[in-house]
Structure 1
Amino acid sequence: MVTMVGNESDIKGLVKDLIYLEHDAIAAYDSCIARLDNKKFASQIASFKQDHLQHLEVLNEMARELAIEAPTRGDMKQMLTTGKVALADLMGDAAILKAMKTNEDDTVTAYERASRHQDAIPASKAFFIKAHQDEERHRAWMDTTAKAL
């Protein structure tokens, strides 16, 4: 999937779309954790999910500050992010991690773009940069671990 998140013309749209993206990611993480056979992998994925929950908390605070209504769940993309994981379950842990890695590709791209958004104030940019680094770390672990299986 190729995300368009991060290309919004204003910060309000960006924050709202990042909230949707985080809800979608969290749903995919829940699906992944439930399906992994390797409990060490599931534990690592659970720790990454905590980063997403923290990102969501910050984004919800940004939404309050911007006086916009924050989405409380994912959008239609959630069916795609969780569906890929469910299908991959038929082929085992490596396939599940590869599916999750493709989901992380979107969050990496979205936060990279967000960190350069013209309307982001310094505090927002700092958060977007940190979230981008988190997503890069998640993606790298998923990619390396899946290739090792």
Structure 2
Amino acid sequence: MKQSEVSGELSRLLALEIDALHAYDAAIAWVGGPGSAIGGELALFKVEHQRHALALHEALLAMGARPPEVEPDVKGVVIGALTPPRRRLNAQEVLEAMRNNEQLTTAVHRKVLALPLPEDVRALVERAHADEERHLAWIEEALARALWFQTSVVAALP
């Protein structure tokens, strides 16, 4: 794979991670902030998306590529980063939206992993993909357990 193609894929992943950050900011606010049980877990996921974005940015620089100026784009609309709802969402609706977002990010990472990437880039994308799968599993479990009705500690979820 040509370096320009690799940098293009990394740039696309970086844009997706930035969109995810915006979505997590909104989701955390909607569920009561990082001090709430669900908000706390979502805040941890947001930090991981920040870490992914920084790693992608650094990888692009190391390749001699210029990281893109990232603004929310069409994916941001899908993820919910651009269009706030007209009414306050409940925790279930927020988690359902975030599940859709994590399904999207997981699918995009999977698609990039299907490409013939250099080993260092593959390792970077694999780590991010593993985090995305874990985020998705936690959100699906939270939805299955109707976590918003529970006051117990959330850490017991996968």
Could you state the TM-score of these two structures normalised by the residue count of structure 2?
0.79
Contact 2:30 2:89 in 1 (8 A): no
Say yes or no: does 1:123 pair with 2:128.
no
| 1:73 alignment partner, one of 71, 74, 80 | 71
Contact 2:19 2:81 in 1 (8 A): no
CA gap 1:111/1:89 in 2 versus in 1, 3 angstroms: farther
Amino acid at match of 1:43: G
The match for 1:11 is 6
Say yes or no: does 1:22 pair with 2:17.
yes
| 2:42 alignment partner, one of 30, 40, 45 | 45
Bigger RCO (CA 8 Å, 6+ sep):
1
In 1, the alpha carbon distance for the partners of 2:30 and 2:14 equals 25
Larger Cα Rg: Structure 1 or Structure 2? 2
Contact 1:111 1:132 in 2 (8 A): yes
Amino acid at match of 2:47: Q
Say yes or no: does 1:140 pair with 2:137.
yes
Stretches of structure 1 lacking an aligned partner (at least 5 in a row): 1-8
- Secondary structure in structure 1 of the residue aligned to 2:67: coil
Higher share in helix: 1
Moved over 6 A (4+): none
The within-5 A match list for 1:66-105 is: 66=63, 67-82=65-80, 86-87=84-85, 90-105=88-103
Say yes or no: does 1:63 pair with 2:60.
yes
| TM-fit CA distance, 1:114 | 1.8
Aligned-residue sequence identity (percent) comes to 27
Amino acid at match of 1:103: N
In 2, the alpha carbon distance for the partners of 1:89 and 1:104 equals 23
- The count of aligned residue pairs is 140
Contact 1:85 1:100 in 2 (8 A): no
